[in-house]
């Protein structure tokens, strides 16, 4: 698949490298493609351009920018380039304020989520939440005791979730579909939970797993 990535940070680069390893082509979109020059040299079949270039390029688009500017990045990408496309939303609504005793602050409340806000503003896009509930170090083919961990996903479009579940499986996760876009209210805060051990100095070698009887 051709995957357009909106972002140039740790998540964008980590997922881009993982997707390349599984045979996909990637184009990373950023306001400053020059910054990716060395990264591109080290990764064959990758390229960089503007947010709009990435949105145009992708059969599937991955959104991996600071949560507070996710809508700005999507506007720069251009709605016309995102029409009906699957957008994998890895973003979290992390507020600027410092964490309290290892607990991050969010700019959304419990009856709201970043992905719902994005789905409302960009109604032509098929958003699927994924990859937000694990640190980038564990994002690609994690090798943890107990087998593949769970990747909680949600979104309103069943076909889009099937596509994303396939990518999630390639990257070493079991997708757990939690339903429509409102489930982002529960999935986004998993980032807070995941970050507590990290922020308390216990490292990043952990992930969630759903166990069923």
Ligand X SMILES: NC(=O)c1ccc[n+]([C@@H]2O[C@H](COP(=O)([O-])OP(=O)(O)OC[C@H]3O[C@@H](n4cnc5c(N)ncnc54)[C@H](OP(=O)(O)O)[C@@H]3O)[C@@H](O)[C@H]2O)c1
From residue 64 to residue 83, the character string flagging contacts with ligand X as x (rule: CB under 6 A) and all else as - is: xxxx-x--xx----------
Report the nearest approach of ligand X to the CB of residue 213 (Å): 29
Stretch that binds ligand X, among 26-34, 77-85, 168-176, 180-188 (CB under 6 A): 26-34
What is the number of the residue whose Cβ is closest to ligand X?
9
Query: 63 and 74 in contact (C-beta within 8 Å)?
Result: yes
Q: Does 189 bind ligand X (CB under 6 A)?
A: no
Q: Helix, strand or coil for residue 159?
A: helix
Q: Does 32 bind ligand X (CB under 6 A)?
A: yes
Between CA 27 and CA 7 the distance in angstroms is 10
The count of chain residues that interact with ligand X, using the rule CB under 6 A, is 23
Q: Which residue's entry shows tokens 């602050």?
A: 105
Q: Does 135 bind ligand X (CB under 6 A)?
A: yes
Please identify which residue in 92, 113, 150, 165 interacts with ligand X, judged by CB under 6 A: 92
Report the nearest approach of ligand X to the CB of residue 64 (Å): 4
Query: 41 and 64 in contact (C-beta within 8 Å)?
Result: no
Between CA 98 and CA 122 the distance in angstroms is 30
Beta strands in 112-199 (DSSP E): 126-129, 150-153, 174-177
Residues near ligand X, by CB under 6 A: 7-12, 30-32, 64-67, 69, 72-73, 90-92, 94, 132, 135-136
């Amino acid at each position: 698949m051709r995957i357009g990535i909106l972002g140039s940070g740790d998540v964008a680069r980590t997922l881009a490298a993982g997707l390349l390893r599984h045979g996909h082509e990637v184009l990373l979109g950023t306001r400053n493609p020059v910054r990716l020059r060395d990264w591109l040299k080290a990764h064959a079949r990758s390229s960089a351009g503007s947010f709009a270039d990435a949105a145009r390029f992708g059969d599937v688009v991955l959104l991996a920018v600071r949560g507070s500017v996710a809508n700005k990045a999507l506007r720069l990408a251009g709605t016309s380039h995102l029409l009906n496309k699957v957008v994998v939303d890895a973003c979290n609504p992390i507020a600027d304020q410092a964490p309290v005793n290892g607990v991050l602050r969010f700019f959304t409340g419990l009856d709201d989520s970043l992905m719902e806000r994005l789905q409302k503003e960009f109604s032509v896009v098929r958003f699927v939440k994924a990859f937000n509930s694990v640190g980038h170090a564990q994002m690609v083919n994690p090798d943890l005791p107990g087998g593949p961990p769970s990747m909680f996903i949600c979104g309103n479009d069943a076909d889009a979730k099937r596509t994303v579940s396939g990518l999630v499986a390639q990257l070493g996760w079991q997708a757990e579909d939690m339903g429509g876009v409102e489930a982002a209210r529960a999935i986004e805060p998993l980032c807070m939970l995941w970050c507590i051990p990290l922020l308390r100095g216990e490292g990043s070698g952990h992930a969630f797993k759903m166990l069923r009887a």
